[in-house]
Structure 1
Amino acid sequence: MLIYHPAYDAYHCVFRMLLIAEHVKDLEIEKARLLDFYLLFPGMLVHARLPDELRALRSQAKSLANVYRDPVSGLSTFRDMRHIQEAALKSVAASGLIDVKQFERGFVKRTEMLLAPGLKEKLDAFTLANGPVVDGVLAGLSKLPLLGHNGLKHRSELMEYRYDFA
């Protein structure tokens, strides 16, 4: 039996990465991957150590937790998604929507190229439909530093952080 899930859909991942690049102007590839994971599985935020200023996001995550939709193991699912996320980011970079030179240096930086109007409408509709969570992830979680103790890698426990230069 085949079961579809957007976590393993490269086109859906391209869409999410574009959404992230549109809202967070300059970020590390690893942070983009973490934000993508939490956009896809907002219920998994209950397992992350969020700072007090993101308390509202935690309560929203609790209401969105779903044992049938959320992964059994966030860590293994995050690792499994890596190749799809990297391919999606390469595709977006190849299209000219993120800066290729910055991408090669490990950063996602949106270029000045305009999105197609239909795509912009779809991104806006997704943001509107998933408002508080999308806003919490893209405006709140993205503000946390990626590296070091209490960085996003440490707080999520989805990536190794102990050897980071912070």
Structure 2
Amino acid sequence: MLMYHPAFDANHCLYRIISILNSTKEKDISWSLLRMMDFYYLFPSQLKKISPWPKEIQKLKALISKIPDQFEDLTNPVRVFFELESFQKTAALELIAKGILSKESFEKGVMRLEPDSLPPAFIDFLASDDFLSSNAFKLITQALPLANFNGAKGLKDRSGLMEYIYDV
């Protein structure tokens, strides 16, 4: 039996990246943070495993309980996170090639949409996506960028998805 999951669908990855960056226009999103946000987009119930929840975004912690548990069992989230990187990198490079992501920003380590790169019809389409108005997406795009990302007690450490020991 063939099973589909959007995690390893290159076109879905393009959509996820655009959705996240369109919702975080006023914030600087690093490549590493975007990768983490994309992971939580795919597996929102994994947000419940961020421990302890960062104090700087404590007011949004109540939204976690409203996120339904996932259907699939992630026995090794770190491995899935690692395996996603090749799809994420390919998608980001394709978006740069198409002029949707800023190449200059990308070279500085910041993921940013080019102004006016998305047609109005696509922006309307994003507005109709139910997930983009969910509590999980709100946590991913509003809370995670505000939390400390690097070092001990940063999101890398608290999520367990990334190595933080060598952060400066």
- TM-score, structure 1 normalization: 0.88
C-alpha displacement of 1:130: 4.4
Q: After superposition, where does 1:1-166 map in structure 2 within 5 Å?
A: 1-25=1-25, 26-49=28-51, 50-51=53-54, 52-61=58-67, 64-66=68-70, 68-126=71-129, 130-165=133-168
AA partner of residue 10 (structure 1):
A
C-alpha displacement of 1:153: 1.0
C-alpha displacement of 1:79: 0.8
C-alpha displacement of 1:58: 2.3
Moved over 4 A (4+): 127-130
C-alpha displacement of 1:56: 1.6
Question: Alpha-carbon deviations, 1:103-153, whole Å to 9, x = none?
Answer: 123220222123123321222122566422111110111211321222221
Contact between 2:126 and 2:132, CA under 8 Å: does it hold in 1? no
Secondary structure of 2:128 counterpart: helix
- TM-score, structure 2 normalization: 0.87
Q: Which runs of 5+ in 1 are unaligned?
A: none
Q: Which moved more, 1:81-90 or 1:103-112?
A: 103-112
Q: Which runs of 5+ in 2 are unaligned?
A: none
Cα RMSD of the aligned pairs, angstroms, is 1.7
Indicate the percent of aligned positions where both proteins have the same amino acid. Answer: 32
Contact between 2:105 and 2:111, CA under 8 Å: does it hold in 1? yes
Secondary structure of 2:151 counterpart: coil
In structure 1, distance between residues paired with 2:18 and 2:144: 17
Question: Alpha-carbon deviations, 1:37-96, whole Å to 9, x = none?
Answer: 1111101111112223331232123xx112x33422211111111100111111112221
